[in-house]
Structure 1
Amino acid sequence: MSTFKELGLNQDLLNAIADLGFEQPSEVQQKAIPVLLEEERDLVALAQTGTGKTAAFGFPMLQKINVDSRTTQGLILSPTRELCLQITNELKLYGKYCQGLNVVAIYGGSSITEQAKQIKRGAQIIVATPGRMKDMISRKLVDISKIEYSVLDEADEMLNMGFYEDMTEILSHTPADKSTWLFSATMPKEVAAIAKDFMFNPIEITVGNKNESTSNVSHEYYLVNARDRYLALKRLADANPDIFSVVFCRTKRDTQKVAEKLVEDGYSAGALHGDLSQNQRDLVMKAFRNKQIQMLVATDVAARGIDVDDVTHVINYQLPDEIETYTHRSGRTGRAGKTGVSMVIVSKSEVRKIKSIERIIKKQFDKKEIPSGMEIVEVQLMSLAKKIHTTETNHEIDQYLGSINELFKDTDKDELIKKFFSVEFNRFFNYYDKSKDLSVEDYGGSDRDRGDNKSSNDTRYFINVGRKDGYDWMKLKDFLKEQLELGRDDVFKVDVKDSFSFFNTEKSQQEKVLNFFTDFKFEGRFVNVEVSENRGGGGRRDRGRGKGGKRSGGGERRSSRRSDSQPKNERRSRRSDSSDNRSERRSNRSGSDRPRRSRRK
């Protein structure tokens, strides 16, 4: 089918489609709309972000509901406020000729009383975030007992955000005979489970392959030392003067920090994360859509409402915890038939994740080098030249030409051009002159994969906490990063065992690590860190341990470990008796005159 009319849409919707300038339905629309119009049944649709999923469920719902009734007939659940508002606005545009249509958005961060008033006026369709919807149901401010259609949009993300129980609670208030339409970019086992729990014999529609990235996006990765990550981000921005990008960070804290540093360094940047108020988020998104912000630094959750077709680049400043989330990130670019680039900045310990992502998205990454300083200078200079060449002349300047010509009457053409371009050229040249090369060699695998291949640039440590203390590799990495005030990528090769663990830092951090954990107590117990002889990623299992987790031999540590039950003086004595020079040095530093370290709040 090549036209919306052939899909079976009525004239009111076709008129709105004409006003919006839509010419041909996307693949997911061609597959979903006829099925949803012809049959009353459940549907699972898998399609990438930016493929027109909102219209795929929005047009059928608008055509099927009764706009003359004030009863709520359709419920759409979405993971974020931004996406909730986006869907609401799009449905209003699609239904502009449906007289009497009322679509209401329900989301946190806005007046619940005002939202309840809008529903009371008669809302045929409610678009809601799970948290606020559950709250309104508990307060009896909304009635969804008679809905005929429910949509779970971005179902995978709602599950990732922990909304399973909320969704279950909300859907328990809906009729059993309603039609449920589930739309998702990926199909992890959790989404398959929710389809099984809430749907009956659904039709499944897949656009492309499951979890596969759109063909409009190319994928690149840049390998750098962890400490150079921010410098690499700036170079990628400078090497693409017309960049209009979304930069992804893992945490709200990192998002805010990176955005602030970019602004301080003169870039047009802004932050989008969950700690912002709704008004702040609206202002940031308005500035981004108007291209007043060139680099939007965002968390995965906050970015789910970004629906901007002109994004040229997605930059993964940090890879997500869940590999499947990369599919959502890269879907922010290459939208509406345009092409885009997804860039990933990785440290050596993260290279293995690239291979995992390639398997999921079924696309290959190109390994690229971070541009050198002089390459950036050339790119910026030629970008300026092209802008000047294509700029339309403003004849209001004519009145000043006499004075300008007089000023440059003794300057020939070549010298004038040099002076003119040196204004911009000097700025980048002075910054990048003699700048170091940020790219590092790719050894073809992760640090963990290298086994016994020793590195002279990092140190491996033993720490006497493990799974029995409630740590997995991610929690332990976050604990170390916070206590030591290090960047996330400064701690790597974290390997958690039952009652002890291993981790690495750059050798330059060794003294800081050992000093910090001298007689360090956390939540009432001593946490001991020592240099480990093992250099590989795995470490040995905790064999040879007796009661209480004490080691009886066969371990990796260079000096004997203290147990939590040992008296403090005995622990110091054992440590000072060690033949390890480092342990002796630490013992000498642990006297009463050692100043107390400052702690991050």
Structure 2
Amino acid sequence: MTKFTDFAFCPELQKAIDEAGFREPSPIQTQSIPLVLEGRDLVGQAQTGTGKTAAFGLPMLELLSRQGNLNQYKNNVAAVVLVPTRELAIQVSEELSRFSQFLGLKTATVYGGQPYSAQIRAMHNSPIVVATPGRFIDHLSSGKFDLKPRFVVLDEADEMLNMGFLEDIRKIFSYFPDERQNLLFSATLPPSIKKLIGDILHQPEYVTLSRKNITAEHIEQSFYVVDEHERDDALIRLYDALLPTKSIIFCRTKKEVDRLAYFLTSQGHEARGLHGDMEQKNREAVILSFRQDKLEVLVATDVAARGLDVNDVSHVFNYHLPFDTESYVHRIGRTGRAGKSGMAISIVTPHEYRGLQRINEKLGGSLLPKTVPHSHEIRNKKISSFIEALYIQEIDERAYEILEVLKEEMELSTVAFKLISMLKDQVEVRGKAQIGKSEKELERLMSRPRYDRHGQNGKGGPNRYKQKGGQYRGKNSSYGSHSKHRSRG
């Protein structure tokens, strides 16, 4: 499948696809859409940002349109889409509304913090409902709805279970008749998800996109090794070098998010934090500003970024490395979307290097080691950019008047030197000349063998990495401690 037109959607749906600018389906769309059109239950394993909404939304709308009389759905809920967060509910609703605009099918968005009465009216008048589990079960429990949806979709299922919605989901399905088509999408399939699949889906087809394929195709991944006190300097230097247009920085704690957002703002970046202690209205305002390109940098925790779906993120920074591979893949999936390229940068200390190795091995060695650029390199780059901008700068008529006045007092060369001196801040480089580990230090760090908890190296053999004087390094030697065992050979 190479084009959306190959699916033979109805004219109204194809028109919406064309207006949205969609041409070639993503891998999850290519594999999922035919199965959904066949009426099969489906389990799609793919990360955020791979096009899952279109993967279930387009065939769902196509099947509804094939019934012939779309008016039958105007007072009946034909499809329910459950998502973990209100932000994702809004985003999925907007995308489904865009696809269904020429079919005349409305979408109701249901989540906590909004008036019940308005949501009840919307649900009575919309054939498609996108909802978070908590608020949706409130509506079902009220007795005001007797829903018989033809489609039920669980999007970001693993996130919903992580947030404690498992029992709510089971209860929601108890309200639905058995005759329905079930679609479940999840980045991971832990045992709890597999059990849920066995309980509520009927002989589902599985579509799985490997982590390696997803993260390697459009995202350039790299890491920089620095000492702990160099994290801030390294981050600023990398911003000066890479010039991100729109970026997300991930931290582990709320306190670190607030501190780093304040620090970046003090350095001239338009940055705001996002974490769980923020009021919902403030949280929504920050996300809206970021989505509308009024914000350059978003600093967030993993929990706060759940369900965050923003286009055109050029860079993702791991200010702190996540604890596991799944979290890493979720984070970097915010860039490199819709076929566009993106960059994922991790800042790690020598102490964290073994954790990065584990992640890198699971991803097939996708992360490339790099050194933080030297201040001279950045300064030369800024000077080149300044000169290039000077070449293309158009001359304003008032400049002639000002220059004539200046020429009465100074030589032209002096005028030029003074003007350039006034602009020197544009080529200044912040921080010390060299930040982080050099290439040789990085090579030494990467050449050290890994040890398991029994003191064995990564290949299972004995530890034979010697110190001066014949001593062996212990399992934590990378961090400064040494064993006292003597050489056996």
Residue matched to 1:95: 100
The one-letter code matched in structure 2 to 1:4 is: F
Aligned residue for 1:105, secondary structure, equals: strand
Residue of 112, 129, 154 corresponding to 2:132: 129
Query: Which residue in the other structure is 1:85 paired with?
Result: 90
Per the alignment, residue 340 of structure 1 pairs with: 342
Per the TM alignment, residue 217 of structure 1 is displaced from its structure 2 partner at its CA by: 0.6
- Residues 275 and 137 (structure 1), Cα distance of their counterparts in 2 relative to 1, 3 Å cut: farther
Compute the displacement of 1:57 (Å).
0.5
Give the CA deviation at 1:249.
Answer: 1.5
Report the Cα distance in structure 1 between the residues aligned to 2:274 and 2:224, rounded to whole angstroms. Answer: 24
Q: Which residue of 1 aligns with 2:357?
A: 355
Supply the AA of the counterpart residue of 1:72: V
Q: State how many pairs are aligned.
A: 455
Output the aligned Cα RMSD. Answer: 3.2
Q: Say if 1:26 and 1:67 are closer, same or farther in 2 by CA, change over 3 A.
A: farther
Q: Distance in 2 between matches of 1:298 and 1:388?
A: 37
Partner residue, 1:557: none
C-alpha contact (below 8 Å) 1:212/1:360 kept by paired residues: no
For 2:486, the equivalent position in structure 1 comes to none
Note the C-alpha offset of 1:536. Answer: 6.5
Trace 1:217-366 onto structure 2 (pairs within 5 A). Answer: 217-366=219-368
Q: Which amino acid aligns with 2:56?
A: F
Which residue of structure 1 aligns with residue 67 of structure 2?
none
Write the distance in 2 (CA, Å) between the matches of 1:252 and 1:113. Answer: 35
Are the aligned partners of 2:226 and 2:437 in contact in 1 as well (CA < 8 Å)? yes
Judging changes above 3 Å, is the alpha-carbon distance between structure 1 residues 268 and 177 closer, same or farther for their aligned structure 2 residues? same
Q: Retained in 2: the 8 A contact 1:377–1:425?
A: no
Give percent identity, aligned residues only. 37
Is the contact made by 1:8 and 1:34 (CA closer than 8 Å) also made in structure 2?
no
Q: TM-score, normalised by structure 2?
A: 0.83
- Deviation of 1:109 after TM superposition, in Å, equals 3.2
**How far apart, in 1, do the equivalents of 2:216 and 2:313 lie?**
15
Q: 1:143, 1:536 → 2: CA distance?
A: 68
Question: Gapped runs of 5+ residues in structure 2?
Answer: 65-69, 456-462, 468-474, 484-489
| Greater mean deviation of Cα atoms: 279-288 or 403-412 | 403-412
Aligned-partner residue type, residue 80 of structure 1: T
Cα distance, 1:162 vs. partner? 3.0
Change (3 A) 1:376 1:227: same
Q: Distance in 1 between matches of 2:187 and 2:244?
A: 29
Q: In the aligned structure 2, how far is the partner of 1:435 from the partner of 1:260?
A: 24
Instruction: Report whether the alignment pairs 1:138 with 2:141.
Output: yes
1:114 and 2:118 equivalent?
A: yes
Shift of 1:202: 0.6
Q: 1:448 to 1:30 in 2, by over 3 A?
A: closer
**SS in structure 2 opposite 1:195?**
helix
Q: Deviations over 1:71-102 (max 9, x none)?
A: 11211111222111110001111001112x22
Is this contact kept in 2: 1:349–1:447, CA < 8 A?
no
Shift of 1:134: 2.9
**Residue pair 2:45, 2:189 contacting (<8 A) in 1 also:** yes
Q: SS in structure 1 opposite 2:153?
A: strand
How far off its partner does 1:141 sit? 5.4
User: Letter of the aligned partner of 1:181 in structure 2?
Assistant: L
CA distance in 2, matches of 1:190, 1:417: 69
Q: Name the CA distance, whole Å, in 2 between partners of 1:125 and 1:446.
A: 55
Q: In structure 2, the residue corresponding to 1:314 is in which secondary structure?
A: strand
Shift of 1:222: 1.1
Q: Out of 150, 154, 161, which is 2:163 matched to?
A: 161
Cα deviation, 1:469-510, whole Å, max 9, x if unaligned, reads xxxxxxxxxxxxxxxxxxxxxxxxxx9xxxxxxx99x99xxx
- 2:458 corresponds in structure 1 to none
Closer, same or farther: CA 386–23 of 1 in aligned 2, 3 Å: same
> Does the CA contact (< 8 Å) of 2:110 and 2:119 recur in 1?
yes
Q: Mind listing any 5+ residue stretches in structure 1 that lack a counterpart?
A: 456-494, 496-502, 508-534, 538-601
- Counterpart residue number, 2:397: 398
2:305 partner amino acid? A
SS at match of 2:81: strand
Contact 1:327 1:361 in 2 (8 A): no
1:303: Cα distance to partner?
2.7
Query: What is the match of residue 565 of structure 1?
Result: none
CA distance in 2, matches of 1:88, 1:126: 8
Specify whether residues 430 and 3 from structure 1 end up closer, same or farther in structure 2 by C-alpha distance, changes over 3 A only. closer
2: distance between equivalents of 1:421 and 1:138? 70
State the 1:286 CA deviation.
2.9
SS state at 1:56 partner: helix
Structure 2 CA distance, aligned partners of 1:49 and 1:412?
58
Partners in 1 of 2:107 and 2:280 — Cα distance? 20
- Give the C-alpha shift of residue 406 in structure 1: 2.8
Contact persistence 2:108–2:123 (CA under 8 A)? yes
User: Post-superposition shift, 1:208?
Assistant: 4.6
Greater shift in the superposed pair: 55-64 or 154-163: 154-163
Match of 1:32 in 2: 32
Tell me how far apart the structure 2 counterparts of residues 67 and 61 of structure 1 sit (CA, whole Å).
16
Equivalent-residue separation in structure 2 for 1:388 and 1:141 (angstroms): 67
Over 3 Å counting, the alpha-carbon distance change for 1:299 and 1:55 in structure 2 is: same
> In the alignment, is the contact (CA less than 8 A) between 1:46 and 1:207 conserved in 2?
yes
Bigger RCO of structures 1 and 2 (CA < 8 A, at least 6 apart): 2
Structure 2 residue corresponding to 1:147, chosen from 146, 149, 155: 149
Q: Give how far 1:346 is off.
A: 1.1
Report if the CA contact (8 A) 2:248-2:315 is conserved. Answer: yes
CA 1:158–1:295 in structure 2 vs 1: closer, same or farther (change >3 Å)? Answer: same
214-223 or 26-35: bigger deviation: 26-35
In structure 1, distance between residues paired with 2:339 and 2:388 = 26
Mark the structure with the bigger radius of gyration.
1
Who is 1:61 aligned against?
Answer: 60
Where in structure 2 are the equivalents of 1:493-504 lying within 5 Å? Answer: none
CA contact (8 A) 2:110 2:132 kept: yes
